[in-house]
Chain A
Amino acid sequence: MTRRMGSLLRTFMVSVVLLVGCSHGDTEKTELTNKGKEIVYATSKDINDMNPHFYSGSMPAQGMVYESLVENTEDGIKPLLAESWEVSEDGKVYTFHLRKNVTFHDGELFNAEAVKRNIEAVQSNASKHSWIKLSTKIVACNVLDEYTVELVLSEPYYPTLVELSMTRPYVFISPKNFVNGGTKEGVSGYNGTGPYKLTEHKVDQYAVFEANENYWGGAPKVKKITAKVLPAGETTFLALQKGEVNFVFTDDRGANSLDVAAMNQFVESGEHQTIRSQPMNTGIIVANSSKTESPVYEKAVREAFWHAIDRETISKQIFEGTEQPADTLFSSNVHYANVKLEKRGYDLEKAKKILEEAGWGIGNTGEFRSKNGKPLAMKLYYDVNSSTQKMQAELIQYTVKRIGVQLEMIGEESSSIANRRSTGDYDLLFNQTWGLAYDPQSTIAAFTSKSSYYHTTRGLAQADELYKKIEEVMVSTNEEHRKSLYADILTIVHEEAVFIPITNGRVTILAPKNLQGISFKQTQFELPFERMYFE
């Protein structure tokens, strides 16, 4: 028995050694990559509920299946499901002429009645959509004829077309999928008019999208797209190496499951390429101007903090040059944001001078500043799941210490940080702007919202003036007046240093080298997969 057991163990160990020794350098690629015809992208989360009138679904997935009336492009608003439109002189009535011969994935005809029913389904759940100001302005949706529909607003609202172009909620699902006449109690299927159909979904495993051969814009060339759930970045890396997935892109929170070095490694191997969009958003540190007991309440402290951030180093060392240093809340490619504002560069001497002038002197310890016995100490909250935010926070903690600011870093979950933002329980926290298409109107509208940036802006001396201008800009029908209002708003928040910009974020894609036609939309939340093709 003993001898047999010993020999069994020896055999086992020799087998393991042999198995290990049999390593061959050439990795056999799986069938998936060899086919070279389909995209399998890694996603850290399941696609979730694809009801387009809710917000829990994956935006890239919803973007493949559903479409809106109009599309937001680099050259402005363009037709999509609506071929053309007119706006009444008083700015309150939008008349849309719909594209003919468009069908939903289940064969239902897309017409004015379908538009009316979808818009009404969204409006019947209005409280969920109050973030999108248009939902508070729509009074009626009338069918004029089979392919003409009009949207009546309570008052003129200039971002109407921009908000109608967003990934959700004003997109269209087959009325056959409605439950109890609407969508707020859920939907029975996910039939949109988009270039891809959702054909299979295994929760927390994968979702398969197949090309819609009857797509009004022509069938997409990539016939199959699979979203594979891979929660761990390490597994994504290994799955890419093996060829089980061949496409990775920045998620809707601006985070990459792979860091820049890992992506570069794939590019160097010659089988992949990385493509980066134009600046889409701005990574910012939000300062709480209404927290009177904190030093952050003072403009001088915020200004000095701004000067003490070494954006160049963050850009070069943490983002390896993939994100550029930002000097203002919005990059100049954001509509209405090309405003001349004073640049506050990395200048520790200037930061010290500002603090000295404001009465924050170095105490007996010789390290940190204080004023009237109150230490210059603040807390910075960062997303515990974002490795880059932690690294930025560490660098900032180091540089602000050199001007005598004591900064405590606290890592929390993103939902907890969102909760702090809405309750005002913070000094400083990381955030990002909503991104192209949504900016500047959505981020600016959030300045007044209690669940967003109300506490950030409420403590400003000009807060009431700021809120009045925000209200005015949303209903303004005069382009020049609107431009000047936006310039005033951006100048106020810039001068008060409540939104401290760090870098401009981009969407990054890692894809097979033979995948062509890769481009971006005017939003960081979805990609135009239908334009891609394999060479």
Chain B
Amino acid sequence: MGSYIIKRFMLSIPLVLIVSFVTFSFIHLSPMDPAEVVLHSQDIPTITDELLVQTRANLGMDQPFLTRYLNWVASCLQLDLGDSYITGKPVWSMLGPAFFHTVKLTLVSTFAIVSLSIVLGVACALNAGKWVDRSVRGVSFFLTSMPSYWLAALLIWYFSVKLDLLPTSGMESYKSYVLPVVVITISYAGIYFRIIRSSMLSNMNEDYVLYARACGLPEKKITMHILRNSLQVAISVFCMAIPIILGSTVVVENIFAWPGLGTLSVKSILSRDFPIIQAYVLVLAVAFILFNTVSDIINAALKPKIRDGL
């Protein structure tokens, strides 16, 4: 297993490099002159030719593309992602806190999604075809099909404005987590509980369940066995939920004024703050690759056959 883990991690390195190259190329293929973008980003009202030349030199834009890419990779390896075009501050100093804020939201949301998915998945599977199952699936279909932007506005209006129970936005106390987490949970739990449900249902038809029943094992114990086996399938799915949520908080963060990665990325894209966009894409790509690797390792641990494929 140890060698599998090492091999699996080694395989992700070229993937990260490819992603970094594609990100860097796409941004630098943009028809806009980065020097002009920097000066516009800084709201310099009038840009002179001298200022453009000076800014290009400061950015190292006078060097060949490949040299710039290699320099960028070299500095990334030293955890130096460059400086923001707008604020002039190191990218890490801006990305770090935003990443941390999004991680907090992601972790709480993932916990809520996993718990709710298990509860609903089990309830639906045990009542397959009955009113509980049908109504949960119906309600979840209705809720997940609602645009999260609209759902968020509706929840703020009701719980913050009308009932005055929660703040409308911001990140001031534990109360601030409630609505963003609810919106994220509704968007994802509706999808994930179906995985648990179908996994439970397929396990319920397995021979070992029949055998256990024949042996007279209590129904409670049999259910726990089914659940344990079903969860094994879901673990790798839940693993990928973390980077997916991490990268899809844009709408929720924007409407709840949550100062995370989503808000920062929108702000950077709108103002063409290339160093931040590059770093944002890179961080997300690394997160996806990392969690994908972890999920593969978990699967390999559960099913030793997979290890042989590598």
Measured CB to CB, the residues of A under 8 A from B are 1-2, 5-6, 8-9, 19-20, 22-24, 27-28, 30, 45, 48-49, 54-56, 127-128, 130-132, 186, 202-206, 228-232, 234-235, 238-239, 241-242, 244, 385, 413, 415-416, 418-419, 422, 434, 442, 445-446, 449-452
Contacts and interface: CB of A to CB of B under 8 A. Distances in A.
B127 to A, nearest CB: 6
B268 to A, nearest CB: 11
A451 B46 contact: yes
Given A55-B45, A127-B51, A232-B254, A9 B161 contact: no
A23 B157 CA distance: 11
B17 interface: no
18 contacts: A8-B119, A8-B123, A9-B123, A9-B136, A19-B163, A23-B163, A27-B161, A30-B164, A49-B87, A49-B89, A55-B42, A127-B51, A229-B257, A232-B257, A416-B32, A418-B40, A419-B37, A450-B48
A20 B158 contact: yes
Interface string B59-103: 000000000000000000000000000111100001001100000
A231 B267 CA distance: 9
Given A22-B163, A127-B50, A235-B257, A204 B40 contact: no
B40 A415 contact: yes
A124 to B, nearest CB: 14
A235 B162 contact: no
A235 B163 CA distance: 16
A20 B158 CA distance: 8
B86 A48 contact: yes
Nearest to B171: A205
Given A235-B256, A413-B270, 16 more contacts: A5-B119, A5-B123, A8-B119, A9-B136, A23-B162, A48-B86, A56-B41, A56-B43, A56-B87, A128-B44, A131-B45, A205-B171, A231-B257, A242-B168, A422-B47, A442-B45
Nearest to A130: B48
B169 interface: yes
A284 B154 CA distance: 37
A415 B271 contact: yes
Contact of A1 (B162, B219, B264): B219
Contacts of B123: 5-6, 8-9
Nearest to B257: A230
Contacts of A28: 164
Interface centre among A28, A55, A127 (most CB of B within 10 A): A127
Contacts of A230: 169, 257
Interface in B258-297: 259, 263-264, 266-267, 270-272
B246 interface: no
A28 B162 CA distance: 8
B126 A446 contact: no
Contact of A48 (B45, B87, B136, B171): B87
B50 A5 contact: no
Contacts of B170: 205-206, 228
B168 A244 contact: yes
B206 interface: no
Given A231-B254, A238-B160, A419-B32, A451 B48 contact: yes
B40 A45 contact: no
Q: What 7 A-B pairs are tightest by C-beta distance, nearest first?
A: A131-B46, A204-B259, A451-B47, A131-B45, A28-B164, A55-B43, A5-B123
Contact of A204 (B47, B88, B98): B98
Interface in B121-172: 122-123, 126-127, 132, 136, 149, 153, 156-158, 160-164, 167-171
A434 B264 CA distance: 28
Interface of B: 32-33, 36-37, 39-51, 54, 86-89, 94, 97-98, 119, 122-123, 126-127, 132, 136, 149, 153, 156-158, 160-164, 167-171, 219-220, 223, 254-257, 259, 263-264, 266-267, 270-272
A21 to B, nearest CB: 11
Contacts of B266: 231
A235 B54 contact: no
B264 A204 contact: yes
B49 A49 contact: no
A6 B48 CA distance: 71
Contact of A239 (B43, B46, B168, B254): B168
Given A238-B153, A241-B161, A56 B168 contact: no
A206 B107 CA distance: 24
A238 B167 CA distance: 10
A452 B46 contact: yes
A5 B132 contact: yes
Contacts of B168: 235, 238-239, 242, 244
Given A228-B170, A229-B257, A242-B161, A415 B37 contact: yes
A452 B33 CA distance: 16
Contacts of B45: 55, 131-132, 434, 442, 446
A106 B272 CA distance: 36
Contacts of A20: 158
A48 B84 CA distance: 12
B272 A415 contact: yes
B10 to A, nearest CB: 38
A450 B98 contact: no
A128 B51 CA distance: 7
A1 B220 contact: yes
A452 to B, nearest CB: 6
A199 to B, nearest CB: 17
A185 B87 CA distance: 12
Contacts of B256: 235
Contacts of A8: 119, 123
B37 A55 contact: no
A435 to B, nearest CB: 12
Contacts of B42: 54-56, 128
Interface centre among B39, B136, B259 (most CB of A within 10 A): B259
A30 B162 CA distance: 12
Contact of B259 (A1, A6, A203): A203
Given A1-B220, A231-B266, A239-B168, A203 B257 contact: no
Nearest to A252: B43
Nearest to A229: B257
A413 B277 CA distance: 16
